[in-house]
Structure 1
């Protein structure tokens, strides 16, 4: 009987979610014309697509990543697509000073911020954990601590503009999985910190919203190369993921999920732990002779 009660409740939540998603978030593209936006990790993948979408909407942009030559190309395309302003600043988020420098540069160049889009990630091998604690510590700085530091530096100007922090997270920050332990740890940390920050800002009557975006497998070049031969699920387009992130932030939602299945996986996680673990392990191909070479 308990099983059927759980199943009924889960289905009810699913129907409610579909109803909300069908109606769509209250997002008006015109509201982003002239918006002052800082996008991190914008040289490739989802970050690059975020920059192009904001450009088409007529936003003012500062983008950052490690490779200045690639950022320059993205900026030029943003200007062609209609950005009111597009600037770049190379930075390495493993260096705490760069986190401070990027936010200050964006504030100085744009006269403030309306959106802080935290999207960058550091490279991490896709393999079973080999006990490398130093890599995990380094990745926490890039994927987590720099997010916290940039949010702290941006909060005063976002408060003045009724602005938003948008955190790009992952399903791997909600559901445990093999082969990406350091990466998953950083995403769990993001969800915990920024989920708590949502409460604190609301309790203080703050004007700043925080949106946490939970993404599934996206077809970026880096992701596809890493998981080749190991994961038996389909990837979804980066440009669609980027648009979903923008809509969620502009609608000031607390959480968004893309693609559709990520929400149901999160429900499934706590209600059916045995089947959750079985489904997780069956989604991967494990060959002891090949896993660990990436």
Structure 2
């Protein structure tokens, strides 16, 4: 019986790999030339890399984050790399009025939107939860509710352009690991809400599509600082993650995964829950 389950698991993984390869849509970088894109969380990390890829493709870009001075530097680099247009607007997504203000600025500056890339996150400790419900409530506004606000505000102009909403999520929105309780809660919320939105937009025969991007550990400065000393898991390059996110939106994929293991982990995570939990806990260093 144990051999049967092992063979079944291997066969299922092989079938999933073949299906994923055969269903991968064609990506045409030329389609990004002149595209009007709003990218959040674009002062550093994945968002910054998304902006640079778009700039090289000749897109028109508006970026946002909290720090004006850093955003200005990113905009200058984007223009030097070939962006048709690049501008920034500083914003704090914990402030209820800022998400819609950013979308309005982008629409006015670019004359509409073709892509809305929701990538920003608020800082959260990498530690066991200490009962701080206020921080979790604040993080929900930044990592989740502001995404909803921006998406709803942008849908009318995206309807006109047959555009896409690109949601940068995480494998931690599909399975739980230690030390990231509040962050994980926000990512589960994102996956659930925007998965529901995919159904509703399709049922309304909307021109707008939603792509949810499931990421593993990425080598951004903030992520590496958090996990240092806790785990030796391999981190994958932010530039490649950014490229895969762009491809997902342009090809209108409902769900995209990077790096490779995130897809298979999502697929088999509930098959052997006891073994899964043992593996997860063994990946982290902790001394009570």
Kindly report which structure 2 residues correspond to 1:232-251, keeping only aligned pairs within 5 A, or say none: 232-251=232-251
Indicate the RMSD between aligned Cα atoms, in angstroms. 1.3
Aligned position for 1:169: 169
Aligned position for 2:281: 281
Deviation at 1:231?
A: 1.4
Asked whether the 8 Å contact 1:25–1:248 carries over to 2, the reply is no
Instruction: Give the Cα separation in 1 of the matches to 2:14 and 2:82.
Output: 39
Instruction: Give the Cα separation in 2 of the matches to 1:163 and 1:5.
Output: 46
Q: C-alpha deviations, 1:16-61, integer Å up to 9, x for none?
A: 3333554543110001111000000000000000000000011000
- 2:37 is the alignment partner of 1:59: no
Deviation at 1:163?
A: 0.3
Kindly report which structure 2 residues correspond to 1:173-252, keeping only aligned pairs within 5 A, or say none: 173-252=173-252
Deviation at 1:123?
A: 0.3
Q: C-alpha deviations, 1:136-161, integer Å up to 9, x for none?
A: 00000000000000000000110111
Deviation at 1:135?
A: 0.1
- 2:154 is the alignment partner of 1:159: no
Q: C-alpha deviations, 1:147-185, integer Å up to 9, x for none?
A: 000000000110111000000001111111110100000
Aligned position for 1:291: none
| SS of alignment partner, residue 97 of structure 2 | helix
Aligned position for 1:146: 146
- 2:22 is the alignment partner of 1:14: no
Instruction: Give the Cα separation in 1 of the matches to 2:85 and 2:38.
Output: 12
| SS of alignment partner, residue 75 of structure 1 | helix
| SS of alignment partner, residue 96 of structure 1 | coil
Aligned position for 2:78: 78
Instruction: Give the Cα separation in 2 of the matches to 1:128 and 1:137.
Output: 17
Instruction: Give the Cα separation in 2 of the matches to 1:243 and 1:16.
Output: 26
Aligned position for 2:26: 26
Asked whether the 8 Å contact 1:10–1:267 carries over to 2, the reply is no
Instruction: Give the Cα separation in 2 of the matches to 1:101 and 1:166.
Output: 19
Q: 1:153 to 1:6 in 2, by over 3 A?
A: farther
Instruction: Give the Cα separation in 1 of the matches to 2:51 and 2:157.
Output: 21
Number of corresponding residues:
287
Aligned position for 1:122: 122
TM-score normalized by the length of structure 2? 0.97
Structure 2 gap ranges (5+)? none
Asked whether the 8 Å contact 1:37–1:61 carries over to 2, the reply is yes
Instruction: Give the Cα separation in 2 of the matches to 1:21 and 1:30.
Output: 24
